[in-house]
Structure 1
Amino acid sequence: MPYAFVDDLPPSVRTHLPLHAQEIYRAAFNNAWVEYASRGAEAREQIAHRVAWAAVKRQYRKEGDQWIAL
């Protein structure tokens, strides 16, 4: 289930990440969703979420409750 807009992201992502990080998450998730199409539906979604978080963590780090751009 790719995300068309950042407003479509899960609440846990929208409430914790700054807008730019949400955009990174959405783009990485959507790309992984396409890339791992041959996987089962549940595995595909789990992988896409892991890829999206990894993409965010390449450009942001968490300090306390805040995500700070690197």
Structure 2
Amino acid sequence: MPYKTDQDLPEKVKGNLPKHGQHIYREAFNHAYDEYQDPTKRRNSNDDPEKIAHQVAWAAVKHKYEKGEDGKWQEK
């Protein structure tokens, strides 16, 4: 389900991403979640829209952030 605030994000996201990264994640997730509710917009109509939305959200974060050698997410 879509996230209303960054505080609602999964702990894996909140505990790893900086605030701006969390915002990117939430916005991308919510958009993808809405978009992929329609089975005709999924590659496989049986795929779970929430799983797809998480994949899209991480991909969006990776455009702006990367994991450093210390394992922490940092801006590129």
**Could you tell me the TM-score, scaled by structure 2's length?**
0.85
Letter in 1 for 2:73: W
Cα root mean square deviation, aligned: 1.6
Structure 1's unaligned 5+ residue stretches are none
Structure number with greater Rg is 2
Structure 2's unaligned 5+ residue stretches are 40-44
| Greater helix fraction, Structure 1 or Structure 2 | 1
CA distance in 2, matches of 1:62, 1:22: 14
Length, aligned pairs only: 70
**Identical residues among aligned pairs (%):** 49
1:22 positional shift: 0.1
**Could you tell me the TM-score, scaled by structure 1's length?**
0.92
Which consecutive segments of 4 or more residues in structure 1 shift more than 6 A? none
